[in-house]
A and B are shown apart, each in its own frame.
Chain A
Amino acid sequence: MTAPVSPVVVEVVRNAFNSAAEEMSVSLFRGAHTPVIYEAKDCAVGLYDADARLLGQAPGLPIFLGNIQACIQHVTAKIGLDGYADGDVFVLNDAYIQGSHLTDITVLAPIFVDGALVAFAATRADGGHLGGKDLGVSTGTRHIYEEGLRIPPVRLVKAGVPDEEIFDLLSLNSFFHSARRGDLEAQIAACYKGAERIRAIYRKFGRPVVEAATADIFRQSEELDRRAVAAIPDGTYTASGLIDDDGVSGTPVRVQATVRVAGDEITVDLTGSSPATPGPVNSGRVQAISACRVAFKELINPEAPVTGGNFRNLSVVIPEGSVFDAHEPSPVQWYYTPLGLLIDLVQQALAPVLPERVAAAHFGDSMIVSFVGTARDGAGAEDFVLIDAETGGWGAFHDGDGQDAMINVINGDFKNLPIEFVENKFPITVESYGLRQDSEGAGRFRGGLGVHKTFRVEQEGTALSLWLDRSVTPAWGLFGGHEATGPVAIVAPGTPDERRLNKITDLRLPAGRSVQILTGGGGGYGDPHDRDREHVARDVTDGYISARRAEEVYGLDASQAVTTTD
């Protein structure tokens, strides 16, 4: 037990922790060289106590929720709390420690106050290529060593002195030498900023008060979590689905989630999920736990800031040797594909008891389209790598339609690439881009629409790679809502060479070849015949759905039909 502390101080400290994390985040965005970090926010930033419990975090990729904690615990287990020195900074990326793929770099630093280790600051950011076999995305990897350089926890800065040799080692292994170094420096600067703020908070209130306040902050989060779970009827709820394949073997991969609610405790049991796969859809155990936390958080107090007191009533059971328990040398490049499905499945499982909290499934994956080649412009030639994450439809919910054309749920504030940016930076033309009519899961509330986007490559030999999963289990509906249409790519549409594909690695294209991407929609909620007739008619007028679909699926009778304007 810690000493009682004023509720005022607790609230001030709680806000200060989150504000300190925000400052870290500002510092990271200011310093980062890689657009996917400062613009797409493919990163995570947090402050942790000496036991690696979260004090405060800033918005970043939701899917990283909670697994930086595991990285700190790993380093501490290895060197002991005594092993840290003031001014140390560690870097690591090993998939079997942090759970995610090797382009994600975790940087963490101990924070000392008056000679005692009181906290940690940590960041994770995706800086792109680091020693992998492909400059773009790898789709057909069979072991981790094809995916990049593995970094165990390494002291990048020793007691305030940067180790230039390690910086050089890491920069040299990246296609983007100087950006790699710049990103690392930005991650370190962010940790130092966090440390500075934590020290200021400790100086202001004193260690006993801060620790007592921290304990109370954790108590608050735990209490709110427990109260919310206690309100869910006890029982066992199950859902399962398939991802298309692992990118190598061509067979579907099963994900099963069994959710057990007992009093104020909740368990997500992944027993029944496929064993580890030869292809790159495995995730480290800690990353699977993170995904369960995201699923939990979407349903339990989603608006409250996350702290070390959250998830204490959440247990996760991961079967040994499963796709969620990657071990050396399992490849992990697409670790998030089964996790996105898992998050949707937890919602499906709990739908009967949380009908107003859940949403039907969304299009479900990051829908990655990649073009790699050499741009020849007059005299010069330069290699280029375009990695584009396409949008799709989100699931409908109890009082609203799923949104059209959104980025993958697990990617938060990540943004799509502007067409004008793509055309300026790459020898590629976008011929058309828009909402994909009739791709939604029909329902009383309908799912969101997917998109169509047609690229045309200008340079001979441009290599296309695709990862468009969730065609075997497209976004399902809830409570009578229909499932949506899944994704597909059409190479050379409307020509004798036309090919339909979902996954491919390095397909060489001739100059002038078109590739049309069609992404999936989101699932519907409730029976489409119960949809407000005006809304059905409106969707026809606006061209979201065809008149025929309105009639056949939504049961709009001809007298209510409206002519479309386009």
Chain B
Amino acid sequence: MPYRLAADVGGTFTDIVRLDEATGACLATKVPTTPDDIAAGVVRGFDEIVDGDYSDVTGIVYGTTAGLNALIQRTGARTALVTTRGFRDVYEIGRGNHPDMYDNQYRKPEPLLRRRDVLEATERVDRHGRVVTPVDHGELRALAQRLTDGGYESVAVAFLHSYVNPANERAAAEILRTALPSTVPVTLSNDIAPELGEYERVSTTVLNAYVTPVIRRYVTRLRHLLTERGFTGHAFVMQSNGGVLTEQVAAAQPVRIIMSGPVGGVIGAGAIGAGLGTGHVLAVDMGGTSFDVSLIVDGAPQIALESHLEGFPVLAPSVQTLSIGAGGGSIAWTEADSMRLGPRSSGARPGPVCYGLGGREPTTTDANVVLGRIATEDFLGGRMPLSPDLAGRALDDYGARLGLSAAEAAEGILTVANSAMADAIRQITLQRGLDARDFTLLAYGGAGPLHAVALAEELEIGRVVVPPRPGAFSAWGMLHAPLRHDGAVSVLRPLDALTAEDLDDTFAAIRAGLDPGIVATLEADGSVREQRSLDLRYRGQKYSVNLPLDGLAGTGSIRAAFDARYRVLFGFASPDTPVEVVNARLALVVKQAYAGPHGVPQPAGPARPRHSIQGRYDGLRHVTAVVDRDDLAADEQVPGPAVLTELTATTVVPPGWRAAVEADGSLSITRLPDTDTAR
């Protein structure tokens, strides 16, 4: 039976999923992440799930946090920046802003290279793209010698206005590549981020250069280990923009994969939503330390053209995620005799009090335990029973400081946590001009399904979906990401100065500039669809909006579509203001087929609660059924209050709601009719 594999590398654990392409059946496992040699941990997981036999594996998709870790820990390559003479400090100066309003002791993010690592080259291109001063070959050769002598492992080149004419950057790169050791990659700003705005472009280029050697090592090592095991098929890497790309592109442009951490889950959420016939999905991922929410609108994840990582701007399209510091490990504390929750987290060690590993401060997880929302004996399939007594005592103490009982304090913690998450969701939907009530909430991650229904209540959302294996959902989602290869060029011309033929020529030029080897890979894998889009803005603005062309050809219809899109995003349009085309983008996409139902085999007959626990909802005690999710039959319904347990997650069905098993194995939780759940 042919199948594909996916690996989602997290900070503590790596999730491995194996998907049978024909039936959609899948297996999942969890192995410890091996930070010193991440590839080894990934392959260990693969070995386990294929039982050492790779002969039926047709493809592999993996994500990696290696680039992000190198950035956070500042363990990336020793990197130099070559830039326009007279502008050495653009990278260090940044934009001069300070996000914390009253912080008089602000510190900028620690730069990835020092001022001594920035070398100036005599050259200049003006705003029209005219080469005012060509590069000086002799000077660049001398500069290459300095880079070699300096022991630099990676080089970034970023010149002013290279987004409009990259000639000087390319000329410089050619000289450097010839003169530098072949192991030293050279990253050009116009290849990585051909966009106006020198600081953001140079920041993105430096980041790419900084992580390139790390990612290259990881990709090469993983390929080596796979080859040793006889796997010679394609391996793809998850990108930040929701597609997967080949190992070669990932190794050359790692900035495209650096924010891919949360992306697998969002793609999975879109796939499940499509299978259930719903296009608007709120993908909610809650783990130990954070709560991440992303929007899927009409089946498409929302993409941001610019984001921030560790305080640095990154110009690489990425699935937009709003993250707040609210997870299972968020610690409750007091200030001025008042309640506060998070953002400090107990982490994996010592973890919540109920883990019994020495944690003393109550967390959100402890509150869930005290309220009977987690079946403590079944946690992690019974491998790690939790202590309700320890949690209860911690909450007794905490409540006493506020004049509350342990149960009141616990419900209070959940109320505060859920309100903060609901506020975050309201903000992210409002930013897009949308209403949360029009969405289905899809929850995953270890703690997502615990809080999902309470969140839906808060937001007046009618339906919650919990996919099978919510703890390994991101890895499963990766297997549904399209293959994707992107190119872009800077245009910077008024829209009405362009004809449909000009645009066709532009896109043809982008396509012609794509790596033919990668294009061939895509074409071998299926039917390639070409997606064209333009970054547009009203004249005078800096920020642009990406408009997918989807069949739009004439500039008149593009103009009208842009005004309409702008109105949705910003509440107004300016039909009389000229529109500029900033960038043209082209993506070659090969869609993955949705693998269809992927539930576990269904036993006959309705499951019976194995036991019940004492739960508490809205101040009232409820006898709560504890049901093993694997025991549920297709179409079976479970009325709340109930707790559905499985290996890596717990789903809470509060009173007034009921859970039903969908054909694809997902749980669909809806409000019971005739019940007023309003508080």
Contacts and interface: CB of A to CB of B under 8 A. Distances in A.
A182 interface: yes
Interface in A382-423: 391, 394-395, 397, 400, 403-407, 409, 412-416, 418-421, 423
A413 B464 CA distance: 38
A524 interface: no
A420 B196 contact: yes
A247 B181 CA distance: 58
B306 interface: no
B312 to A, nearest CB: 14
A28 to B, nearest CB: 10
Contacts of B403: 7
B105 A6 contact: no
Interface stretch (B44-52, B56-64, B81-89, B381-389): B81-89
Contacts, number: 206
A487 B289 CA distance: 46
A174 B542 CA distance: 22
B108 interface: yes
Given A6-B412, A11-B340, A224-B336, A407 B98 contact: yes
A547 interface: no
A220 B336 CA distance: 5
A12 interface: yes
A12 B126 CA distance: 54
Interface stretch (B211-219, B416-424, B546-554, B607-615): B416-424
A151 interface: no
Nearest to B411: A8
Interface in A133-183: 178, 182
B339 A391 contact: no
B540 interface: yes
A59 B105 CA distance: 18
A97 B478 CA distance: 58
Interface stretch (B256-264, B568-576, B630-638): B568-576
A434 B427 CA distance: 38
A263 interface: no
A121 to B, nearest CB: 15
A26 B429 CA distance: 11
A565 B116 contact: yes
A472 B41 CA distance: 63
Given A8-B339, A8-B411, A12-B415, A420 B104 contact: no
Contacts of A114: none
Given A413-B99, A420-B160, A433-B87, A10 B338 contact: yes
B106 A403 contact: yes
A412 B97 contact: yes
Contacts of A33: 572, 574
A433 B89 contact: yes
Contact of B198 (A193, A216, A298, A418): A418
Interface string A486-513: 0000000000000000000000000000
B102 to A, nearest CB: 4
Interface string B381-410: 000000000000000000000111000100
A276 B223 CA distance: 74
A566 B116 contact: yes
A220 B337 CA distance: 8
B308 interface: no
Do most interface residues of chain B lie in helix, strand or loop, or is the interface mixed? loop
Contacts of B90: 419, 433
B419 A15 contact: yes
B106 A406 contact: yes
Given A420-B160, A424-B196, A405 B89 contact: yes
Given A403-B108, A415-B97, A429-B126, A7 B92 contact: no
A423 B126 contact: yes
B199 interface: yes
Interface string B516-547: 00000000000000000000000011110000
A308 interface: no
Nearest to B423: A19
Given A31-B571, A359-B105, A421-B197, A223 B336 contact: yes
Nearest to B150: A565
A451 B93 contact: yes
A116 to B, nearest CB: 23
A189 B571 contact: yes
B161 interface: yes
A489 B172 CA distance: 34
B197 A418 contact: yes
B430 interface: yes
Given A35-B542, A420-B197, A566-B116, A23 B99 contact: no
Contacts of B101: 59-60, 62, 412-413
Interface in B65-100: 86-90, 92-100
A425 interface: yes
A23 B339 CA distance: 23
Given A11-B416, A435-B93, A347 B572 contact: no
A421 B196 contact: yes
Interface string A45-66: 0000000000000011010000
Interface hub of B163, B198, B341, B541 (most chain A Cβ within 10 A): B198
B412 A7 contact: yes
B569 A62 contact: no
B116 A8 contact: no
Contacts of B94: 405
Interface stretch (A81-89, A98-106, A474-482, A536-544): A536-544
Contacts of B540: 35, 425
Given A220-B338, A425-B540, A413 B97 contact: yes
Contact of A413 (B98, B104, B198, B416): B98
Given A31-B571, A405-B93, A19 B542 contact: no
Given A7-B412, A30-B570, A19 B93 contact: no
A406 B98 contact: yes
Nearest to B161: A420
A416 B96 contact: yes
A242 B322 CA distance: 46
B412 A8 contact: yes
Given A8-B412, A418-B199, A26 B427 contact: yes
A223 B525 CA distance: 66
Interface hub of B96, B114, B335, B540 (most chain A Cβ within 10 A): B96
A432 interface: yes
Contact of B102 (A62, A223, A347, A418): A62
B115 interface: yes
Contacts of B197: 418, 420-421
A526 B674 CA distance: 71
A353 B570 CA distance: 48
A542 B116 contact: yes
Nearest to B679: A204
A178 B95 contact: no
A208 interface: no
A27 interface: yes
A352 interface: no
B420 A15 contact: yes
Contacts of B402: 7
Interface in A1-55: 6-8, 10-12, 15-16, 19, 22-23, 26-27, 30-31, 33, 35, 39
13 contacts: A12-B415, A16-B419, A27-B571, A33-B574, A219-B336, A223-B337, A298-B103, A303-B100, A421-B196, A433-B86, A435-B89, A451-B89, A451-B93
Q: 6 nearest interchain CB pairs?
A: A8-B412, A432-B86, A19-B423, A415-B95, A542-B115, A220-B336
Interface of A: 6-8, 10-12, 15-16, 19, 22-23, 26-27, 30-31, 33, 35, 39, 59-60, 62, 178, 182, 185-186, 189, 193, 204, 216, 219-221, 223-224, 294, 297-298, 302-303, 347, 358-359, 391, 394-395, 397, 400, 403-407, 409, 412-416, 418-421, 423-425, 429, 431-435, 451, 541-544, 565-566
Given A30-B570, A39-B543, A223-B337, 7 more contacts: A8-B416, A27-B571, A182-B574, A220-B336, A420-B160, A433-B86, A433-B87
